[in-house]
Amino acid sequence: MNLRVVVRSGEQVTLVEAAAPAGTPVLAAAEDAVRRASGESHPDVWAVDLAADPALLGCVVSRPVTGQAAGELGQRTRAAADARIGFRPMTRADFPDVVTWQCRPHVARWWSSEASTVEGAEAHYGPALDGTDPTRMWVTEVNGRSVGMVQDYRVGDHPDWSLLTARPDAIGFDYLIGDPARVGHGIGTRALWAFLRDVVWPGYPGAGEFFAAPDHRNEASLRVLDKLGFVRGLWFDEPQSDGSVDTVVGCSLDVRRVLGLVTRR
Ligand SMILES: CC(C)(COP(=O)(O)OP(=O)(O)OC[C@H]1O[C@@H](n2cnc3c(N)ncnc32)[C@H](O)[C@@H]1OP(=O)(O)O)[C@@H](O)C(=O)NCCC(=O)NCCS
């Protein structure tokens, strides 16, 4: 697979090219290329669009880099590059924000109504916060502000979901950005990349597959998964709590191909 990394060093934005031969994880190949070009020992490389050919990644370094100017790709990746992403465990103090996010129209359209009230949030997420449900709940922060939530779990811990997806060994995750000002600028892709690399990958050592299943009409979510290197698989029907049925698309990430075999963070 051929790669291009948009490397930002102050105002300078440079394209670094590389190849990830079969057997070399995409992340390792991109990090090596940035290391060689910049001398930076631990570059923070993220996926911009792994479905493109060549695949596109981004990185910010502190040292000057020689190479061709990135041009329009520099503009395209600016918002994501400027975003400082973090994740912290959700607490009950986050429930009012969770309710606000899930009531926003761009979320409510695709997220089953788990938390339209604080009581609903307590009923749905309280057991996970108390550790009686093994799902892990997180709040996504961008530049120090809470903007959305993510959850991860072993698919096999949820028998109904495991039966539907036929993916008992995969690690499932669900995500939303509740702040509409943050949507549509590449931040969701960068945030989910950071989540998968820094939270999920080390949290489930040895996992070979990450899995998500957006509604077949949820173009933004499907496109984000494409950009992260997921492959779309089978469509299946998912019964909802209100008695309706959503047709969703099972999407899988080959962890070893994209991130590698051994977690490093
Ligand atoms: C899914 C979500 C996290 C994505 O975050 P984001 O910051 O908007 O993602 P990005 O900006 O990185 O990428 C969105 C991509 O979808 C594309 N997109 C958005 N709406 C689209 C539409 N209606 N049709 C086609 N493509 C669309 C964007 O153009 C962009 O692709 P591009 O980079 O090729 O232009 C966010 O939209 C969200 O929270 N949605 C509501 C909750 C939700 O749907 N969660 C997922 C449940 S499975």
The mean-pLDDT minimum among 154-158, 210-214, 215-219, 260-264 falls in: 260-264
Report the pLDDT value the prediction gives residue 112, as an integer from 0 to 100.
83
pLDDT at 264 (0 to 100): 63
For residues 150 and 249, membership in a common domain is answered with: yes
Domain stops at, among 43, 77, 111: 77
Under 8 Å between Cβ of 168 and 155: yes
Is the pLDDT reported for residue 61 higher than 90? yes
Residue 263 domain flag? no
| Cβ atoms 248, 209 nearer than 8 A | no
Average pLDDT over residues 203-229: 97
- The atom of ligand 1 lying closest to the CA of 178 is 39
Output the pLDDT for position 66: 84
Q: Is 77 in the pocket of ligand 1 (CB under 6 A)?
A: no
Q: What is the pLDDT of residue 64?
A: 86
Choice from 97, 149, 221, 225 to test ligand 1 binding pocket (greatest atom count within 8 A of CB): 221
Domain match, 91 and 219 both: yes
- Average predicted confidence (pLDDT) for the chain: 95
Give the CATH number for residue 125: 3.40.630.30
Q: Which of 49, 77, 105 is the last residue of a domain?
A: 77
Range of the domain at 25: 2-77
**Cα–Cα distance for residue pair 53/26, rounded to 1 Å:** 13
- Looking at the structure, tell me whether residues 209 and 151 fall in a common domain: yes
Q: How far is the CA of 58 from the centre of ligand 1 (A)?
A: 18
- State which ligand 1 atom lies nearest to the alpha carbon of 110: 44
> In testing the pocket of ligand 1, which one of 192, 193, 215, 223 has its CB within 8 Å of the most ligand atoms?
223
Does residue 61 sit in the same domain as residue 162? Answer: no
Whether residue 29 contacts residue 43, with contact meaning beta carbons closer than 8 Å, is answered with no
The number of domains in the chain is 2
CA distances to 26, 106, 116 from 100, in Å: 37, 12, 8
Torsional class of 89: left (φ above 0), alpha (ψ -120 to 50), beta (otherwise) = beta
Same domain, 70 and 95: no
Residue 72 and residue 99 in one domain = no
Q: How does pLDDT run across 72-116, given as a tens digit for each residue?
A: 999 999 999 999 999 999 999 999 999 999 999 999 999 987 899
Identify the pLDDT of residue 67: 84
| Tens digit of each residue's pLDDT (9 = 90 or more) over 46-58 | 999 999 999 999 9
Supply the pTM of this predicted model: 0.97
Position 35 confidence tier, pLDDT thresholds 50, 70, 90 = very high
- Measured in Å, residue 189 CA sits from the centre of ligand 1 at 8
| Ligand 1 proximity of 187 Cβ (cutoff 6 Å) | yes
Domain boundary among 77, 100, 126: 77
pLDDT of residue 243: 87
Residue 9 lies in a domain: yes
* C-alpha 222 – ligand 1 centre gap (Å): 7
Query: Could you identify the atom of ligand 1 that is nearest to the CA of residue 212?
Result: 48
Task: Report whether residue 218 contacts ligand 1, using a CB cutoff of 6 Å.
Answer: yes
Q: What is the tens place of the pLDDT at every residue in 13-26?
A: 999 999 999 999 99
User: Do residues 178 and 61 both lie within one domain?
Assistant: no
Burial of 76 from C-beta contacts in 10 A (0-12 / 13-18 / 19+): middle
Distance 39 CA to ligand 1 centre (A): 34
Q: What pLDDT is attached to residue 104? A: 97
Give the residue whose CA is nearest to atom 44 of ligand 1: 110
Same domain, 100 and 72: no
Query: Does residue 265 register a pLDDT over 80?
Result: no
**Alpha helices in 104-167, H assignment, sequence order:** 105-108, 118-130, 159-165
pLDDT value of position 14: 96
Distance 224 CA to ligand 1 centre (A): 6
Total Cβ atoms within 10 A of residue 122: 14
Question: Are 99 and 225 found together in one domain?
Answer: yes
**Quick check: is 264 in a domain?**
no
> CB–CB of 103/116 below 8 Å?
yes
CA of 54: how far to CAs of 12, 30, 46, 108, 247, in Å? 21, 12, 15, 35, 31
Q: What is the pLDDT of residues 123-144, one digit of tens each?
A: 999 999 999 999 999 999 999 9
**Measured from the CA of 187, which atom of ligand 1 is nearest?**
7
DSSP, residue by residue, 3-29? EEEEEEETTEEEEEEEE--TTS-HHHH
